[in-house]
Amino acid sequence: MSQQSTAAEHHSSGGSGGEAAPAKRKSAMAEFIRKFSKQKLSLVAGIFIILLLLVAIFGPFLTPYDPDAPDYDSMLSGPSMKHWAGTDEYGRDILSRLIEGTRLSLAVSLSAVFIAAFFGTILGLLSGFYGKWLDRLIMRSSDVLFSFPDILLAIGIVAILGPGLTNVVIAVAVFGIPSFARMIRSVTLSAKETLFVEAARSMGAKDRRIIWRHIFPETLPSVIVNVTMKIGGAILAASSLSFLGMGAKPTEPDWGAMLSMGRDYLSIAPHVVYFPGLIIFLTVLAFNLVGDGLQDALDPKMKN
Amino acid sequence: MEKLLEVEGLKTEFKRDGGNVMAVAGLDFHINSGEVLGLVGESGCGKSVTSLSIMQLLKGTPGRNAGGSVKFKGTDLLRLSDKEMRRVRGKDLAMIFQEPMTSLNPVLRIGKQLEEPIRLHMGYNKAKAREHAIHMLKLVGIPRAEGVMNDYPHQLSGGMRQRVMIAMAMSCHPQLLIADEPTTALDVTIQAQILDLMKRLKEERSMGMLLITHDLGVVAEMCDRVVVMYAGRVVEEAPVKELFENPQHPYTQGLIRSVPKLRQKVRRLESIPGNVPDLSRMPAGCKFAPRCPHVMPQCLTAEPELLAASGDASRKSRCWLTQETELKGGTGA
Amino acid sequence: MSTPLIEVKGLQKSFLVNKGWFGNNKYLQAVDNISFSIGKGETFSLVGESGCGKSTTGRLVTRLLTPNQGEVWFNGQNITQLNDNQMRPIRKEMQMVFQDPYASLNPRMKVKDLVAEPLLIHTKLSQGERDKLASELLEVVGLNSFHAERYAHEFSGGQRQRIGIARALSVRPSLIVADEPVSALDVSIQSQVLNLLQDLQEQYGLTYLFISHDLSVVEHISDRIGVMYLGSLVETAPKDELYERPLHPYTQALLSSVPVPDPSLARERIILKGDLPSPVDPPSGCRFHTRCPACMEVCKTKVPVFQEVEPGRQVACHLYDEDVMSRN
């Protein structure tokens, strides 16, 4: 019932008087910002992420101490006015190392997710648009990848390629591709059936044009949402690999590596683990919250 | 004749983009018992909102009543509590919608959906309610009524679903049936069946009916009197024959002329230029003035009232043109 | 008579609706054995109720779908089996206008790009030249050139349909297939669009294949009409003859079912019994026999032949079959 009346209302608002309605003309960006700002929690999370990015960029200017300089006078000292987050087993300032590590951790997870998004989107578009054997090939391959537990697959890849951050990026990207491909495929399948795609076909548009001009923009919101949602997972995966000693070298200030190094001192100096753990937790949470907010803000069905 | 429903100054507001817009801006009309009143207009004119207002079904929508009264046999429906309204709705007042699928529960069998209001309003026991439900299905021309009782809505065709909706609406012997575009979603041959059925039931039960439609053909076939709506207002009211023979308001004239009619043989259709005005940016003065072929300076500044024609209280029009000629006619006599 | 622009012979199309486990697949007979032709500059309409296959026929003619059987000839060329690349130059000649002006325009494109998209596909014009043509086209269909920079959602239904028409017109096609182009519009807007279509036909010598369920609209715009029922053509005739003297019982019932906006007109109405049968499992013999008021024994078993019974008029009905009738 309510659907009916709102439909009637939408119709009346669509029938803008005489000429096209300039008052209704809000840019898509302004509309997006308006909707996104309505989700308070996502907004806070978004601000947190912007801060993180700033830290990643200006990290070296923000660190109170040299993150790599050992201080054998204060090893494993707890949080104090001097060292807000305490020091690690070499007496290095943990806060400085976390700040320095922001760049590394974000770079690893972001690049992994963007690579996954890039290939996953292309595969999903092709799979959904052409169907038939290509679809079966792509989807069955991603089923195979899906059947491995995520981290196991990444461990396997790093085991083959050898440890190191570049290989962590590759591993995390590879296990991210199937989920992108699947999601984009399903959006493609429904976009393929829209009337404006049929209209483009009736005009004689080539497949390439239909895919890029008409279908890809339809998938874009899903891509963006999925990217933010996956960044959290990628940070966790990269940290896990580092924790397992397969990613960053122990000397590098990677969040996961710090967590890994700290576990030996868990009983005597828990802060060595708490702070890297906390920052990983907050970052993952923030990206997921922003993803939720984006989902709602970008969903064309959720007007107002 | 007894006035079954009397709507006076009905206003309905809708929340939109932070502000309020008036979807229905002061509506006056009445329905006599045993009469079919047509409510005609194009999309966005407020005709469906009107029916929801009368039925008090605006809850859960961005809309709300903003004044006026809806007297059903003397009782103002707008002042009834939810509980009191529920007792009226479905019993004395029934409604059928354009798309029966949206008003039938997809996971309940037809029988259950039919029996429930019968038990509620008529106080029948289960067996008697079932019997009555089957009787109703037969009445609306459903061939295998017992079988349909056990079907789910999606198992029926569009025409059959609309019949079920009518059976449901009629099951408690309502005195007024509100039908909102009841045949718009149906094919012409099925529409003919449903219109025929509605006409027959109305005759048999001497029930009043408010028929909301955009289809002038349906109006001409079904209605006794017609109210034409434009931009949330009544612009003309007339008995059906007079309306088609001699429409008063330029909008009604344009509407009737722009419909292609069978065997009419015109080279070009007449049309009304422009579009329906947006609710949030209504023109001052007469709302139809920007599209009106007879627009005068005063139309742009002052909105005419809905006034009865001299000597014929059954005809009303909201237009400076008719009111002006009356004025002149008055001075001349 | 010169060669028709479109000629369709024995078109048949079915869709797989239910894949059975043991090869007992279920097919929906969308279109069965349809033949008609459209002359240059003519408006031919396909009319019928939902599910009668009229839209599928339109998509077969424009080769958005490939028929299972039968042939489509365009301008003397058999286009039935052409692939996408071979079809492309022909698509320039046949454009479509769709029912839903909300869904058929890409919401993410500006009006000028929407209108000029066929130009981009079929010509080598520069962006500037295309923009200029798009502005001109907008004026032709009764919009303003300043609308070019806006998006489709800023327009009302009628205006969007004008945009759709401008787009179809942009490559100067000879055929426009219009699938229910006015059924989503309000009456006062509907007549504006119908008038526009007629004006453009005169101006550009267009040929229309007009698909609609609305008999009043069809009568207004057509030269000749084909009536479809459950995937088959039951009757084709010049407009006036069809409306004055419908031959097929279904056409008769259909015409008598249309509500006429004239309350003083008393009409004898033929009300058909029952619902439309499912096209997955159509009735034997004549597909209309289950609802036909003039059904005979032969109708239940024998499919009537679609044949010419009078000059220019074809009917598929045993009532007009001399063999059958002489035996009775």
Distance (Å, whole) CA B168 – CA B166: 5
Other beta carbons less than 10 A from residue C252's beta carbon: 16
Confidence category of residue A282, pLDDT binned at 50, 70, 90:
very high
Which ranges of B206-313 would DSSP assign to H, the alpha helix?
216-222, 240-245, 250-258
SS3 B11: strand
Least confident of A186-190, B283-287, B309-313: B309-313
Contacts of C258 in chain B (CB under 8 A): 188, 217, 262
- State the pLDDT at residue C66: 93
Question: Is the minimum CB–CB distance between A30 and chain B shorter than 8 Å?
Answer: no
- State the pLDDT at residue C222: 95
**Span C39-88, pLDDT tens digits:** 999 999 999 988 889 999 999 999 999 999 999 999 999 999 999 999 99
Distance (Å, whole) CA B283 – CA C54: 42
For A15, list phi and psi in degrees, rounded to 5.
-80, 70
Ramachandran area for residue C10 (φ above 0: left; ψ -120 to 50: alpha; else beta)? left
Question: CATH number for the domain including A198?
Answer: 1.10.3720.10
User: Would you call A13 and B23 a contact, using CB atoms and an 8 Å cutoff?
Assistant: no
| Closest by Cβ to A13, choosing from B16, B48, B290 | B16
| Closest by Cβ to B260, choosing from C156, C192, C220 | C220
Q: Name the DSSP class of C272.
A: P
| Closest by Cβ to B220, choosing from C190, C263, C276 | C263
Task: Name which of A297, A276, A234 is nearest A100 in CA terms.
Answer: A276
User: What is the identity of the amino acid at A105?
Assistant: S
**Span A149-191, pLDDT tens digits:** 777 888 888 888 888 888 889 988 988 899 899 999 999 999 9
Number of folded domains in chain C?
1
Say what the pTM is: 0.83
User: Would you call A1 and B277 a contact, using CB atoms and an 8 Å cutoff?
Assistant: no
| Closest by Cβ to B63, choosing from A5, A11, A15 | A5
In this complex, the chains that touch B, judged by 3 or more CB pairs closer than 8 A, are A, C
CB B55 within 8 A of CB B95: yes
Residues spanned by the domain of C14: 6-93+173-327
- State the pLDDT at residue C306: 93
- State the pLDDT at residue A196: 92
Chain A residue with the nearest C-alpha to that of B42? A12
Distance (Å, whole) CA A201 – CA A205: 5
| Closest by Cβ to C104, choosing from A199, A207, A300 | A199
Other beta carbons less than 10 A from residue C328's beta carbon: 8
In this complex, the chains that touch C, judged by 3 or more CB pairs closer than 8 A, are A, B
| Closest by Cβ to A11, choosing from B43, B52, B277 | B43
Residue C282 burial (10 A CB sphere; 0-12, 13-18, 19+): middle
**Span C196-208, pLDDT tens digits:** 999 999 999 999 9
Q: Look at residue A19 and tell me whether its pLDDT is greater than 50.
A: no
Q: What is the mean pLDDT of residues B10-34?
A: 87
Q: Three-class SS string for chain A?
A: CHHHHHHHHHHHHHCCCCCCCCCCCCCHHHHHHHHHHCCHHHHHHHHHHHHHHHHHHHHHHHCCCCCCCCCCCCCCCCCCCCCCCCECCCCCEHHHHHHHHHHHHHHHHHHHHHHHHHHHHHHHHHHHHHCHHHHHHHHHHHHHHHHCCHHHHHHHHHHHHCCCHHHHHHHHHHHHHHHHHHHHHHHHHHHHCCHHHHHHHHHCCCHHHHHHHHHHHHHHHHHHHHHHHHHHHHHHHHHHHHHCCCCCCCCCCCHHHHHHHHHHHCCCCCHHHHHHHHHHHHHHHHHHHHHHHHHHHHCCCCCC
User: Would you call A17 and B58 a contact, using CB atoms and an 8 Å cutoff?
Assistant: no
Question: Is the minimum CB–CB distance between A21 and chain B shorter than 8 Å?
Answer: yes
Distance (Å, whole) CA C279 – CA C287: 10
To the nearest whole Å, the CA of C59 is away from the closest chain A CA by 9
In a domain, C101, yes or no: no
Q: How many residues does chain C have?
A: 328
For C94, list phi and psi in degrees, rounded to 5.
-130, 110
Q: Name the DSSP class of C287.
A: T
Contacts of C269 in chain B (CB under 8 A): 192, 196
Q: What is the mean pLDDT of residues B213-229?
A: 93
Residue B129 burial (10 A CB sphere; 0-12, 13-18, 19+): buried
CB C33 within 8 A of CB C70: yes
Contacts of C155 in chain A (CB under 8 A): 16, 20
Q: In the structure encoding, which two tokens stand for residue B323, read together?
A: 């009111």
- State the pLDDT at residue A40: 84
Distance (Å, whole) CA C208 – CA C189: 20
Ramachandran area for residue B265 (φ above 0: left; ψ -120 to 50: alpha; else beta)? left
- State the pLDDT at residue B60: 75
Q: Which residues pair with B234 in a beta bridge?
A: B229
**Residue that the structure tokens 């031919």 belong to:** C44
What's B3-92+174-277's CATH class? alpha beta
Confidence category of residue C169, pLDDT binned at 50, 70, 90:
very high
In this complex, the chains that touch A, judged by 3 or more CB pairs closer than 8 A, are B, C
Distance (Å, whole) CA C93 – CA C88: 9
B1-33: b (≥16 Cβ within 10 Å) or e: eeebbbbeebbbbbebeeebbbbbbbbbbbbbe
User: Would you call B157 and C276 a contact, using CB atoms and an 8 Å cutoff?
Assistant: yes
SS3 B248: coil
Q: What is the mean pLDDT of residues A235-240?
A: 83
CB B101 within 8 A of CB B112: no
Give chain A's contact residues with C (Cβ, < 8 Å): 14-16, 19-21, 24-25, 194-196, 198-207, 209, 213-214, 217, 300
User: Would you call A20 and C155 a contact, using CB atoms and an 8 Å cutoff?
Assistant: yes
Q: Report the run of H or E that residue C314 belongs to, with start and end.
A: strand C313-315
Distance (Å, whole) CA A246 – CA A122: 29
In a domain, C59, yes or no: yes
To the nearest whole Å, the CA of A220 is away from the closest chain B CA by 26
Q: What is the mean pLDDT of residues B2-29?
A: 87
User: Would you call C108 and A217 a contact, using CB atoms and an 8 Å cutoff?
Assistant: yes
To the nearest whole Å, the CA of B269 is away from the closest chain A CA by 20
Question: CATH number for the domain including C59?
Answer: 3.40.50.300
In a domain, C153, yes or no: no
Contacts of A201 in chain C (CB under 8 A): 64
CA angle A182/A186/A190 to nearest 5° reads: 165
User: Would you call B276 and A3 a contact, using CB atoms and an 8 Å cutoff?
Assistant: no
Chain A residue with the nearest C-alpha to that of B55? A1
Q: Look at residue B159 and tell me whether its pLDDT is greater than 70.
A: yes
In a domain, C61, yes or no: yes
Alpha-carbon distance values, B290 to A163, B160, B237, B320 (Å): 74, 43, 21, 14
Residues spanned by the domain of A234: 47-62+83-298
Question: Is the minimum CB–CB distance between A3 and chain B shorter than 8 Å?
Answer: yes
Other beta carbons less than 10 A from residue C49's beta carbon: 20
Residues 6+ apart with CB under 8 A from C210: C43, C44, C45, C46, C178, C181, C218, C221, C222
High-pLDDT (> 90) share of chain A, %? 26
High-pLDDT (> 70) share of chain B, %? 96
Residues 6+ apart with CB under 8 A from A82: A74
User: Would you call C154 and A200 a contact, using CB atoms and an 8 Å cutoff?
Assistant: no
Contacts of A129 in chain C (CB under 8 A): none
- State the pLDDT at residue A26: 53
Domain map (residue ranges) of chain B: 3-92+174-277, 102-170
A122-147: b (≥16 Cβ within 10 Å) or e: bbbbbbbbeeeeebeebbeebeebee
User: Would you call A21 and B278 a contact, using CB atoms and an 8 Å cutoff?
Assistant: yes
**Span C86-98, pLDDT tens digits:** 999 999 999 999 9
Residue A221 burial (10 A CB sphere; 0-12, 13-18, 19+): middle
For C62, list phi and psi in degrees, rounded to 5.
-85, 5
Number of folded domains in chain A?
1
SS3 B12: strand
In a domain, C167, yes or no: no
Question: Is the minimum CB–CB distance between C100 and chain B shorter than 8 Å?
Answer: no
Distance (Å, whole) CA C222 – CA C233: 17
Q: In the structure encoding, which two tokens stand for residue C269, read together?
A: 């109405």
